[in-house]
Chains A and B, each alone.
Chain A
Amino acid sequence: MVVIGTIENLVKKVITPDIKISFGGAALFLKPMEVVREIIRQEIKDLIIYTLIGDLDIDLLLGVKAIKELHSSYVGLPMIGMARHFRKAMEKEQSVDFYEWTELSMVRAFQAGAMGTPAIMLRSLLGSDLVKLREDFEEVTYRGMKYIQVPAITPDLAIVHAYAADQNGNVFYPKHHALDEFSTLPAQCAKQLFVSVERMITNEEGRELIQQGQSTMFSSIDVDFVVEAPKGAWPSGFPPFYASDMGHIMTYSGMANMPETFDMYLREYVFGKSQEAVQ
């Protein structure tokens, strides 16, 4: 049964310390940013996060020390530079356990989670020191061939941002945007799915979308929680509806430099209402 509610209520109800979460999106596209901001507003801590390419989502959460364990292949602000809180957390504070994957191994582990197989073998990690850091990565021989076996990723919850949801919880996102797999892969391996959408629509509007040739990104049986969050991926991009707000991300990058300016950023764009002015 899909629960439709406000972002305040459902984040409070569902996202608890020590929960394992996979985020949809990658590299400043399709990130569930409004849910990230709500997690910060509610001061929820000790999260375990999986994201293929971490950017502002991860750097914000690390800035408020909300993540205790992080899995990703890359954490930075693509085209702009380093993620400052990520570096600080790693180099100065040692406040987060970071597990670096490669893109392929992480996607295969998402797929393994979706298949219900406990682990998957691949070859691209052979010879990499990433394997030495991990007790759960293992070199194995299968029919005379060497592989690295990695565990499936099985989060408690996936959080993704999509275009629209009808009153039954069917979720829509235009199909021809190949970016959708950045969100469907982390969703399919998780036990539960939390979706923020640009807008709620009626069931009739949902049927019209299907008649226009769209398909559901997730059907109601896949979905557990739905909240409405207009511009909910901002400042990451949500094509074809809005682009990544690189100007804002550059502003962030500057303000993340010092604790005082980062606090100003949080007051302005996370706790404040000025973000509506931006939108």
Chain B
Amino acid sequence: MSKSTDYEPIDLIVISLAREINDSESCYTGIAIPSAVVAVQLARMTHAPNLQFFYGGYWINPDLDVDLFTIMTDTEAFVESISKAQGFSHLVQLYQYWEGPKHTLSFGIIRPAQIDQFGNINNSVIGDPHHPKFRFPGGAAAGDIINTCSRVIAYVPRHDVRTFVPEVDFITGRGSSPKWRKDVGLTDYQGIKTVVTDLAILEFHPSSGKMCVRSIHEFSTIDEVQENTGFDLEIPKDIPTTRAPTKEELDILQSKADPLSIRNFDSRNR
């Protein structure tokens, strides 16, 4: 970290995720990844008030001023969260939008434990699957989202060589390779388009499908980004700097979108 800022890296992750969201889109996020729900709420409170949001498959467009932890630990807060949602979704109702008859959701947000240069993700296992060195909890819906949402936004709270590997140990969800998606008939679902980390924002080359740098944060250097990535990134000649959070974004994040700072569950010291 070469430059001090008046915000934390996790703030920029959340704000950058929110900026990936367009108004009037539809989306899903799971319940176990706090920065995802904060980013969606921030987008709804700023530039995307007409977003259609399935939260965890229960709440539709919730106006939550409490976080999920509170909802789970406080029955009154749970009941209140229902009254503050515009709707309430059953699992099978949500799945109408995943391969079902309804329209495709615009995007989903995931947090991969491992990601490789072609956007394959691993949330399952390191080493022999039957005799693993490390067993992650499992992909839950991450693999489904990659092949059922129009695009996927990923975030990685700590950008390092353990997460960014040349080839994932195990493919829980298949990557962004345009050729593979064409071969199996999944061109409507682009896979991961953007990866937001605490050092940079990454994307995938439209034809090769290989990961490249879109921008680096004002407090990181390109050497730092490359050193913490286990493969050669495609780096543009003039590297843009990620737009710093505006005062308005920071204010709304801190006062309304995440007053209890649940995004800090995702914060990792460097």
Q: Tell me the A residues contacting B by CB distance below 8 Å.
A: 27-29, 53, 72-76, 78-79, 82-83, 86-87, 90-91, 94, 100, 102-105, 107-108, 111, 122-130, 133, 145-146, 176-182, 185, 237, 239-247
User: Which one of B91, B134, B180 has the highest number of Cβ atoms from chain A below 10 Å of its Cβ?
Assistant: B91
| Chain A residues with CB below 8 A from B139, complex form | 73-74, 100, 102, 130
Q: Please give, as numbers and ranges, the residues of chain B lying within 8 Å of A75 by CB-CB distance.
A: 137-138
- Does chain A have a CB within 8 A of B47? no
- In the complex, which residues 110-151 of chain B have their Cβ closer than 8 Å to any Cβ of chain A? 124-125, 129-135, 137-144, 146-148
B residues 43-86 with Cβ under 8 Å of A?
58, 68-69, 72-75, 77-79, 82
User: A271 to B82, alpha carbons, bound, how many Å?
Assistant: 36
Q: B residues near A, CB below 8 A?
A: 31-32, 58, 68-69, 72-75, 77-79, 82, 88-92, 95, 98-99, 124-125, 129-135, 137-144, 146-148, 170-175, 180, 184-186, 265
Q: Is the interface of B mostly helix, strand, loop or mixed?
A: mixed
B-side contacts of A91, CB under 8 Å:
132-135
- Whole-angstrom distance between the alpha carbons of A90 and B131 in the complex? 7
B140 & A53 in contact (Cβ 8 Å cutoff): yes
Inter-chain contacts of B95 with A (CB < 8 A):
104, 107-108
3 closest residue pairs by CB, A with B: A127-B174, A76-B137, A90-B135
Minimum CB–CB distance for B209 against chain A, Å: 13
B98 touches A243 (CB 8 A): no
In the bound complex, CA of A244 to CA of B75 (Å): 8
Complex: A76 Cα to B185 Cα, angstroms: 33
Interface centre among B74, B82, B147, B170 (most CB of A within 10 A): B147
- Which of B69, B89, B146, B265 touches A178 (beta carbons < 8 Å)? B89
Known: A83-B137, A243-B77. 7 other contacts (CB 8 A): A75-B137, A78-B31, A124-B147, A128-B173, A181-B92, A239-B75, A243-B72
Cβ-defined contact, B91 with A182, below 8 A: yes
- B74 contacts A104, C-beta separation under 8 Å: no
Complex contact A79–B69 (CB within 8 A)? yes
The CA-CA distance from A230 to B252 in the complex, in Å, is: 43
Known: A127-B184, A244-B73. A178 touches B88 (CB 8 A): yes
Chain B contacts for A240, CB-based, 8 A: 75, 78-79
Query: Do A103 and B75 touch (CB < 8 A)?
Result: no
Given contacts A79-B72, A178-B90, contact A102 B82 (CB under 8 A): no
Instruction: Report which of A72, A74, A127, A181 forms a contact with B147, defined as CB distance below 8 A.
Output: A127
Contacting residue for A103 out of B90, B124, B140, B265, CB 8 A:
B140
Most B CB within 10 A of own CB, among A53, A79, A244? A79
A130 and B131 form a contact (CB under 8 A): no
Is B69 a contact partner of A127 (Cβ separation < 8 A)? Answer: no
Q: A127-B180, A128-B172, A185-B92 given as contacts; is B141 within 8 A of A104 (CB)?
A: yes
> Is there contact, CB below 8 Å, between A243 and B144?
no
Q: In the complex, A28 Cα to B72 Cα: how many Å?
A: 9
CA distance A53 to B130 in the complex (A): 20
Residues of the A chain whose Cβ atoms lie less than 8 Å from the Cβ of B73 = 243-247
Contact among A79, A102, A122, A127 with B32 in the assembled complex (CB-CB below 8 Å): A79
- B64 shortest CB reach to chain A, Å: 15
A111 to B96 alpha-carbon distance, docked (Å): 13
- CB <8 Å contact, A72 and B171: no
Hey, which chain B residues are within 8 Å of A244, CB to CB? 72-73
Determine how close the nearest CB of chain A comes to the CB of B262; give it in whole angstroms: 9
Known contacts A185-B91, A243-B74; A90/B32 CB under 8 A: no
Are B75 and A242 in contact, with the CB atoms below 8 A? yes
In the assembled complex, the Cα of A146 lies from the Cα of B78 at a distance in Å of 41
Chain A residues whose C-beta falls within 8 Å of the C-beta of B144 in the assembled complex = 102-105, 124
Which residues of A have CB within 8 Å of B82? 176-177
Q: List 11 A-B residue pairs with CB atoms under 8 Å apart, sorted by A's residue number.
A: A107-B92, A111-B92, A124-B148, A125-B147, A126-B147, A127-B171, A129-B171, A130-B172, A176-B88, A242-B75, A243-B73
